[in-house]
Amino acid sequence: MNQTLDQMKQWLLTHGLAILAILVLCVAAYFLLGLLVRFVTRRVKSLDAKDDTLLDRRADTISDVLYSAGLVVIFVTALVMVLEEIGVPIAPLLASVGVVGLALGLGAQTLVKDVISGLFILLENQYMITDVIEVNGIVGNVEMMTLRATTLRDAAGTLYIVPNGEIRIVANRTRDWSRAIIDVGIAYEADVDRALAALQSIGEEMVADAEIGPLLLEAPQVTGVEGLEEWAVRLRMMVKTKPNQQWDVQRYLRRRIRLEFADQGIDLAFPRQEVALVNMPAGEKNGDS
């Protein structure tokens, strides 16, 4: 019994202290990683750019990826050091990994593919945190990005985690600038020229508006008659906006168009059906000849 206690004390004094030192180093590395991420973030944000908001989002994206990659490096390094300290031979373990790797090849290939794709997404600056993108039929706001996966949240609040290796085509709806497009259907009986003039007037008011004006990059354009539908004459209005602001501009436009058209007596189109009643000859009623 005493011999066992002595062995435990000896093990704690040697290997136990070494493991404790490894854990302390891990904690120190964790804090150093945080300092490094903050330093890189500040450096990126301090660069000269035309759009400071865009630079801030770029810095946040880089910091997220750098932080997640750093945590993986710290964890793997600490695990290897602890295994060596408790007597687990690393060399045979690594050799066995080569044998087992054949069986795990498919899974490893998928992971490597995700990481490589994540690196290219980051280096090519395909999208950033807070961008609204469409990937694999999913439209959502980029909440988080790591080397392995991208996290999206759609308008309904559903959270999607998309492996970077599965991303083939990215549609970025908020990069550099956006465009608000409004189609207005008016009745065939309405005066088209009058409706177009009303849209042009609304566009001029938008530019001068203290709330909406700063969101615009160009003056609104009324393109004219875009289509003749079954029950409506379709007019179109477009305006170039700052990134991610097109939806606010569209909501403003819909409200102003509804109020302005109502004031001017311009009828908006809605589905309708005309029924013609034809008087039948008396002799043909009820199928009589």
- 239 near 179, Cβ under 8 Å? yes
Contacts of 249 (CB under 8 A, 6+ apart): 180, 206, 212, 215, 216, 239, 241
Asked if residue 149 is part of any domain, the answer here is no
| CATH number of residue 216's parent domain | 3.30.70.100
Asked if residue 162 is part of any domain, the answer here is no
Q: What is the pLDDT of residue 29?
A: 87
Q: What is the pLDDT of residue 122?
A: 85
pTM check: above 0.85 = no
Asked if residue 137 is part of any domain, the answer here is no
**Which of 85, 103, 121 delimits the end of a domain?**
103
> 243 is in which domain, residue-wise?
178-264
Tell me: pLDDT of 119 over 90: no
Asked if residue 165 is part of any domain, the answer here is no
Q: What is the pLDDT of residue 66?
A: 79
- Higher-confidence residue of 52 and 147: namely 147
**Which of 103, 122, 143 delimits the end of a domain?**
103
Asked if residue 201 is part of any domain, the answer here is yes
- 212 near 280, Cβ under 8 Å? no
Asked if residue 204 is part of any domain, the answer here is yes
Tell me: pLDDT of 49 over 80: no
Q: What is the pLDDT of residue 93?
A: 60
Where helices occur in 124-268 by DSSP H, the ranges are: 192-208, 246-264
Q: Are residues 184 and 95 in the same domain?
A: no
- The per-residue pLDDT of the chain, averaged, comes to 83
Tell me the percentage of the chain whose pLDDT exceeds 90.
43
Number of domains in the chain: 2
Least confident of 58-67, 134-143, 157-166, 228-237: 58-67
Tell me: pLDDT of 6 over 70: no
**Which of 51, 78, 103 delimits the end of a domain?**
103
Band of residue 250 on the pLDDT scale cut at 50, 70, 90: very high
Q: Are residues 11 and 95 in the same domain?
A: yes
